[in-house]
Chain A
Amino acid sequence: MLGMFGQYATLMLLGFYPSGNAYDKGVALTVLYLGIAMLGGMLVAGGAAVGIERVAYRPLRRRGAPSLVFLITAIGMSFIIQEFVHFVLPKLTGGTLGGVNAQQPIRLVQPEVQFTIGGAPVTNITLVIILSALVLALATDMFINRTKFGRGIRAVAQDPVTATLMGVSRERVIMLTFLIGGILAGAAALLYTLRVPNGIIYSGGFILGIKAFCAAVLGGIGNLRGALLGGLLLGVMENYGQVVFGTEWRDVVAFALLIIVLMFRPTGILGESLGRARA
């Protein structure tokens, strides 16, 4: 739905915090800790996503509200969550989490160059990120396309009423979808933190959420592989554009790319595979 980008931003935001668990465990350079941290992030983000869906979106859905209302609600929720972390969380955690400043980074992994490809250094962090992303993407893709739940999701996306007639619980499916979204966002949060350790702040993740939305739209909303492709394309073009035009033009390149692609393929690169996109 339309409000996802604000949603994702704040969920990523929440997903940052569980790496604070590793804070207490001291410095340990192991994948295990990273894995635990990632699970923690997924948990918080996924939980928040489901919670938001229950509290804010379900009543709207019940009333058949148009999509602008969903967007505004998502924006409202993202404000609430952001400010919660900004003001309330420090009070709840005695100042360790939240607040105005970014969290002190927890350096579990030091970037070390492993090898080079064509002159470009590839660090261990890069490897971890790419590998994790691929694994997660593969897992999600298999889930959507091969499992019963995934079929349910696709059915509800195409025709909610008939899906209900076929015994698919729409509410459950929607909750599941939000859960998956939240989990992935939480995972992404960890990967992002590996690369940008100073980014854990209440206002972090917003731009990322927008870029994520761009990537999804670029690839074609409703299409998992399209989203992957869109994300990859966006990342590559951004960095390439950075080299060609200069760092400050990076975001312009990203948005310009989006506009150009949408002009020629109004439904994204891989189009819409899940039936008509309802706005």
Chain B
Amino acid sequence: MSTSTPAPQTPEGRPTSMPPVGRVATKDRPHGGVGDRFRLWWDAQARPTQWLIGVPFLIFIALVPILNIPVLTTVGTNFGGVMAQFGMIALIAIGLNVVVGQAGLLDLGYVGFYAIGAYTVAILTSPDSPWNQTDEWLSKDWAWLAALPIAVAITSLSGLILGSPTLRLRGDYLAIVTLGFGEIVRLLADNLDELTGGGQGLRGVAYPRVGVTEELPNGVFSAGNAAGTLNSGVWWYWLSLVFIVISLLLVGNLERSRVGRAWVAIREDEDAAEIMGVPTFRFKLWAFVIGASIGGVAGALYAGQVQFVIPTNFNVINSVLFLCAVVLGGQGNKLGVILGAFIIVYLPNFFLGRTELFGIPINGNEIASYRYLFFGIALVVLMIFRPQGLIPVRQKLLAYGRELYVAARRAAQAATRSGSDDGARPGAPAVATASGTTGAARPTAGGTRTGESTTDGEETR
């Protein structure tokens, strides 16, 4: 069996008469940009190293609202509150990314899941609601925590209900149907007065009662804890960070399994995937359910933080904004969408109340009111010049076999260094040496199993 030499071909693979290239077209895209080099470096690290770097970084991220970094901290609004909102939207972005970015299902009604999560918690815990459980068997301290799994369950169920009849549709049709779903949820919330409080909404939603002290009779999560550095916003931010980390791990596990591969296959070519034995409908439904449940958690967080749910928040515009966060950040990339969420939440708040920036006087409030204009421009520009988003997706779909990819990269860099006639690549030699030595230090495979470390498989974030 010989491996044929690369025949001259067009990008689609049809034979042409053009001279063969030793490498696929590199002039069209700059290679070795900052992001790529970072990823190459990161992937070459051993797993313990990745933890060693990642955990302190995470701690830093968690501490951001407290550190009072000069330019970063918002002037007009409570920075903790902003970060808490960012946490929730980031979680939403991760969930929506599963549906839109991974499985490629166009969902314009994701806000519906968010609403269902929030309302479930509210209905179960608000004194305004007829199904309030806090009077009966649920103590107010733990009500939120107890309502959370119920919210997740109900939201997942709604994902199932939405998906089963509609996932046979494709493209435009799925988009409009999900949009309809989002609107139906909002309208139900608006109209079912006895259950949801209608336009008035439900007040007094429970929240975790932790850290009760004299000054804070309701604990650190309550709205009463508004002053000072460790205000309620910060606590809610930390709580959402916990959920973000958990969901990143879980979604990452899914990505590197048959589920993630099925999603990518469905996104690429659904018919071929089905012919190759992928039960496409089932996995599309799973995408919906998983995305929905993450949205439900975000909704529960929202309800607990704001302690007051009304239908007007759960409108189509927000659905669209969530979608923008995903696409802006890099659809398919679960870290990228977090960045997208940050941009969407943070930037307007950055300008609010700010009267000078680096010495230049500005009218922050006015700039903040232009936010949709800026979003619009940013979206259009980004889609034209960088449609894959700020942090493009690099698919890692296999749970094992990293040494294979590392070996491949080494080989590629060796080929690059020795006699490439396509021009010097400034970045490549530096990286080659770095990963070359790391690679050589790691034991190559001996024996039947791959030379993986004793931990159960490589995970790259």
The interface residues of chain A lying within 8 Å CB-to-CB of B369 are 87
The answer to whether residues A259 and B375 also contact, given A56-B384, A72-B383 and a CB cut-off of 8 A, is: no
A63 to B180, CA, bound (A): 31
Q: List 24 A-B contacts (CB under 8 A).
A: A59-B384, A68-B100, A69-B387, A71-B175, A71-B323, A72-B323, A73-B380, A73-B384, A75-B323, A77-B380, A81-B376, A83-B372, A214-B176, A246-B191, A248-B187, A256-B180, A258-B176, A258-B180, A259-B177, A267-B173, A268-B173, A279-B170, A279-B171, A279-B172
8 A Cβ contacts from A234-279 to B: 246, 248-249, 251-252, 254-256, 258-259, 262-263, 266-268, 277-279
A79 to B379, CA, bound (A): 9
Closest to B331 in A: A68
On whether the beta carbons of A249 and B379 are closer than 8 Å, the reply is no
Query: Which of B179, B184, B323, B373 interacts with A210 by CB under 8 Å?
Result: B179
B200 to chain A, nearest CB (A): 14
The answer to whether residues A76 and B379 also contact, given A59-B384, A67-B171, A248-B190 and a CB cut-off of 8 A, is: yes
With A79-B379, A82-B376, A206-B316 given, can you name 8 additional A-B contacts, CB distance below 8 Å? A2-B175, A67-B171, A72-B383, A73-B383, A76-B378, A84-B373, A87-B370, A278-B171
A278 to B172, CA, bound (A): 9
On whether the beta carbons of B165 and A263 are closer than 8 Å, the reply is yes
A108 to B177, CA, bound (A): 38
A187 within 8 A of B: no
On whether the beta carbons of A83 and B100 are closer than 8 Å, the reply is no
8 A Cβ contacts from B338-395 to A: 369-370, 372-373, 375-380, 383-384, 387
Counting contact residues on chain B (CB < 8 A from A), the size range is 35 or more
**Residues of A near any B CB (own CB < 8 A):** 2, 5, 56, 59-60, 63, 65, 67-69, 71-73, 75-84, 87, 206, 210, 213-214, 217, 221, 246, 248-249, 251-252, 254-256, 258-259, 262-263, 266-268, 277-279
A254 to B181, CA, bound (A): 11
Return the 6 tightest CB-CB contacts between A and B, nearest first: A279-B171, A79-B376, A76-B379, A255-B180, A83-B373, A80-B376
On whether the beta carbons of B172 and A217 are closer than 8 Å, the reply is yes
The interface residues of chain B lying within 8 Å CB-to-CB of A249 are 187, 191
On whether the beta carbons of A221 and B172 are closer than 8 Å, the reply is yes
Closest to A68 in B: B106
On whether the beta carbons of A72 and B183 are closer than 8 Å, the reply is no
The answer to whether residues A83 and B383 also contact, given A248-B191, A266-B168, A277-B171 and a CB cut-off of 8 A, is: no
A245 to chain B, nearest CB (A): 9
On whether the beta carbons of B377 and A76 are closer than 8 Å, the reply is yes
The answer to whether residues A251 and B187 also contact, given A60-B387, A262-B169, A277-B171 and a CB cut-off of 8 A, is: yes
8 A Cβ contacts from B19-71 to A: none
On whether the beta carbons of A65 and B172 are closer than 8 Å, the reply is no
8 A Cβ contacts from B116-173 to A: 165-166, 168-173
The interface residues of chain A lying within 8 Å CB-to-CB of B404 are none
Closest to A80 in B: B376
Most buried by B among A63, A256, A262: A262
On whether the beta carbons of A262 and B383 are closer than 8 Å, the reply is no
B187 to chain A, nearest CB (A): 5
The interface residues of chain A lying within 8 Å CB-to-CB of B173 are 217, 221, 262, 266-268
The answer to whether residues A80 and B383 also contact, given A214-B180, A258-B180, A263-B165 and a CB cut-off of 8 A, is: no
Query: Which of A2, A59, A75 interacts with B320 by CB under 8 Å?
Result: A75
The interface residues of chain A lying within 8 Å CB-to-CB of B320 are 75
The interface residues of chain A lying within 8 Å CB-to-CB of B183 are 251-252, 255
Contact flags B289-303 to A (C-beta < 8 A → 1, else 0): 000000000000000
The answer to whether residues A68 and B327 also contact, given A79-B372, A83-B376, A258-B177 and a CB cut-off of 8 A, is: yes
| A-B pairs with beta carbons under 8 A, tally | 130
Most buried by A among B190, B191, B380: B380
On whether the beta carbons of A217 and B176 are closer than 8 Å, the reply is yes
**Residues of B near any A CB (own CB < 8 A):** 100, 106, 165-166, 168-173, 175-177, 179-181, 183-184, 187-188, 190-191, 316, 320, 323-324, 327, 331, 369-370, 372-373, 375-380, 383-384, 387
Query: Which of A60, A75, A259 interacts with B384 by CB under 8 Å?
Result: A60
Closest to B375 in A: A79
The interface residues of chain B lying within 8 Å CB-to-CB of A217 are 172-173, 176
On whether the beta carbons of B383 and A60 are closer than 8 Å, the reply is yes
The interface residues of chain A lying within 8 Å CB-to-CB of B191 are 246, 248-249, 252
A80 to B187, CA, bound (A): 28
Closest to B371 in A: A83
A69 to B323, CA, bound (A): 11
The interface residues of chain A lying within 8 Å CB-to-CB of B188 are 252
Query: Which of A80, A84, A248, A255 interacts with B380 by CB under 8 Å?
Result: A80
A263 to B327, CA, bound (A): 28
A218 to chain B, nearest CB (A): 9
On whether the beta carbons of A73 and B379 are closer than 8 Å, the reply is yes
A121 to B168, CA, bound (A): 43
A254 to B168, CA, bound (A): 20
A38 to B320, CA, bound (A): 31
Query: Which of A5, A65, A75, A263 interacts with B166 by CB under 8 Å?
Result: A263
A230 to chain B, nearest CB (A): 11
The interface residues of chain A lying within 8 Å CB-to-CB of B370 are 83, 87
A249 to B172, CA, bound (A): 25
The answer to whether residues A255 and B184 also contact, given A73-B384, A75-B324, A79-B379 and a CB cut-off of 8 A, is: yes
Closest to B106 in A: A68
Closest to B180 in A: A255
A263 to B161, CA, bound (A): 13
The interface residues of chain B lying within 8 Å CB-to-CB of A69 are 327, 383, 387
